[in-house]
Amino acid sequence: MPRRVSRVPIAFVSAALAVVLGGDRRGARADDLATPPPDAIFVPTTLVPATGDVPDGCVRTAGLPVTFDLVEDEGFPIGEMVVGERRLGMALLRGRGSDAALIVDLNGDGKPSRADESFPIAVSPWMVRDQAIGLTWKTTVPWGAGSFALTIQDRIGALTGQWTTSAGASDAKPVAPSGLAFDPDVPACVTKPPSTAARVRYATVTVGEHVVVVAALRGSKDEMSFLVDTDDGDLSDVSRRIPATAEPLRRGPVRTGTSWSTGPIEIDGVRGVLTALETLPTIQGRADPTATLSGTTKLAGDPWTLVLLDGDFDGSYTGASDWWGFMPTSAVDNPNPSKLFEGDAPCFRNASKAWKLLGVRADGTAVLAPFARAPSVEAYLAARSERIEVGRWFPKFEAGRDEFVRAQGLDTTREKTAKPFHWRYALTLADAKALAKVEGRPLLVDFEADWCVWCKRLDWIVYPDREVAERLAKFTAVKINVELDPTGGFQSIDGLDGEKWGAMPAIGAFDAEGRPVPFKPTWDKAKSETVDHIDGFKKPHEFAAALDALYAAVTGSRTAGGSGGGGGTVAPGMDAEPK
């Protein structure tokens, strides 16, 4: 749990607001950057907007939490955000409208300057079911070479009240105190107050023979007023507000809430006092990066884009929530990690070396040193696909297995393969064709993406089916991640219908020229129809039958059933000897 900040006045919040923002931001020893290897590459970087999700396996999904507490006497919250092993302190000044501000101790001296470390906050209602249950505060705070977007939600504290009658001007018989439970929901048959910056909550209380509606209008931190109606439920006349005075509630030195009391008022001939107890609002915050570092360099003569995101704001790129990676510049339209090779396991196409990140210099220049040995492209792609399946998708699928099986009408008695089918991996269709030529088998390609849930459901429940695996073994079965393909091959395939392939999953067989092979479908299609790929998720028995039809079409065979194993006629144009 994050350490709570000290509850002391703002002039003395050194302990609470102190944070060291300097230090080694580079994720490497100084010597590594001062004397990099002679064949290191240097990539000048600039700040660009961060888009897309962090790669699967990283822990930053909902931003960094920000915790708040009230200062003892000041009445405003102070908070902190933990960034790595550092703590960034801040104070939220809840004024009126444009007066709201966030003070952040950016230089870590415990004495934030209003000029340099005060940031205006955009304030808007926090709405639930058309009711304002609090306020939402948003601002952007610079940090290091980047910045973070800070969102704070200030939820209205619980409000309970009591109507206490007293003898006096009224001749009516006094009644026992009645409790009020205030709620944001508007009671039935009540005319709401007009739109106002005040946050409104409602309660009812019985006075004599009448049910009285009370609206509590919460203004700034020291303002509360009430509207009371005894007859027609009309609370639209805000000029009839009854002001209340505030008295802080404390538990020792800690402020726990506010007591609100009106002066003596008369309701339906009964004189009394309206009091309300308000607990402190719940204030919570979240910080997300709004920028990342990006740069372009030449690898093997081609431009490549380097992207660095400091996901935990600790100043380095070595944490579990950080990511960095490369991609050919021609294939990157924004720094989306789904289109990038992660830099912690790099293997870059058309480049003679792979690099590790030593760090980022103060001027924003990234320094990368070559790996002595790097994995093959296929090994990298296979490991990436498996990591995303096992780490992200399969646990979710297993949690909802029963419901999915019922919804799809799957036969759970079907036999599974003894060991997982061995897929090959390639970046482009040309690479996949080369693999098939070496193996001498027909080429089958499964186009997938990290985010494609139905692609991953095929991997989870269809490909492990014994009959499906046996038929896949007749092909050189290759997976291509369409986001990583620098040629955009998937989007350029011309289908039989004259349209480009666009939706996934998409599984098809290809001839030596890279053209999709047409075949007769075996699932819910007209018997006279011809298709060029298996479009989308299919049940295991449907998928196995489709593979039979594909194999027959690509080899010219009349039948293609049986116990797999990879034999059979070589695909048209595949001139290597069968293995």
pLDDT digit string, tens, across residues 88-110: 888 888 765 556 788 888 877 77
Write the CB contacts of 185 (distance below 8 Å, at least 6 apart in sequence): 129, 131, 202
pLDDT digit string, tens, across residues 152-162: 888 777 888 88
Amino acid 294: pLDDT: 87
Amino acid 577: pLDDT: 34
**Higher per-residue confidence, 265 vs 75:** 265
pLDDT above 80 (res 220): no
**8 Å CB contact between 289 and 51:** no
Report which residue type is found at 207. Answer: V
pLDDT above 80 (res 197): no
Q: How confident is the model at residue 426 (pLDDT cuts 50, 70, 90)?
A: very high
Distance separating alpha carbons of residues 435 and 458, to the nearest angstrom: 22
pLDDT above 90 (res 421): yes
Q: How confident is the model at residue 575 (pLDDT cuts 50, 70, 90)?
A: very low
pLDDT above 90 (res 209): no
Burial 125-138 (b: 16+ CB within 10 A, else e): ebeeeebbbbbbbe
Amino acid 84: pLDDT: 67
Q: How confident is the model at residue 170 (pLDDT cuts 50, 70, 90)?
A: very low
Q: How confident is the model at residue 579 (pLDDT cuts 50, 70, 90)?
A: very low
Amino acid 97: pLDDT: 53
Amino acid 509: pLDDT: 95
- Summarize the confidence of residues 45-58 as an average pLDDT: 64
pLDDT digit string, tens, across residues 239-290: 788 999 988 887 766 667 889 999 888 877 788 888 898 887 778 888 887 7
Q: Per the structure block, which two tokens stand in for 407?
A: 């919804």
- Summarize the confidence of residues 195-205 as an average pLDDT: 76
pLDDT above 90 (res 392): no
Compute the residue count for the chain: 579
Distance separating alpha carbons of residues 112 and 105, to the nearest angstrom: 5
Percentage, residues of the chain above pLDDT 90: 25
- Summarize the confidence of residues 322-332 as an average pLDDT: 76
Q: Is residue 129 left, alpha or beta, with left meaning phi > 0 and alpha meaning psi from -120 to 50?
A: left
Percentage, residues of the chain above pLDDT 70: 78
**Higher per-residue confidence, 113 vs 18:** 113
Amino acid 2: pLDDT: 33
Cα maximum dimension of the chain: 110
**β partners of residue 227:** 215
**8 Å CB contact between 215 and 201:** yes
Q: What is the mean pLDDT of the chain?
A: 78
**Full-model pTM:** 0.61
Going by C-alpha positions, the residue among 145, 221, 128 that lies closest to residue 183 is: 128
Q: Is residue 300 left, alpha or beta, with left meaning phi > 0 and alpha meaning psi from -120 to 50?
A: left
**8 Å CB contact between 376 and 347:** yes
Amino acid 21: pLDDT: 24
pLDDT digit string, tens, across residues 507-540: 999 988 888 999 999 988 777 789 999 999 999 9
- Summarize the confidence of residues 375-394 as an average pLDDT: 88
Cα 3 to Cα 68, 119, 394, distances in angstroms: 11, 24, 36
Count the helices and strands in the chain (H runs, E runs).
11, 31
Question: Position of tokens 């910045």?
Answer: 147
Amino acid 27: pLDDT: 41
Going by C-alpha positions, the residue among 546, 545, 548, 540 that lies closest to residue 408 is: 540
- Summarize the confidence of residues 211-219 as an average pLDDT: 84
Q: How confident is the model at residue 24 (pLDDT cuts 50, 70, 90)?
A: very low
Going by C-alpha positions, the residue among 453, 447, 441, 443 that lies closest to residue 427 is: 447
Q: How confident is the model at residue 411 (pLDDT cuts 50, 70, 90)?
A: very high
Q: How confident is the model at residue 395 (pLDDT cuts 50, 70, 90)?
A: very high
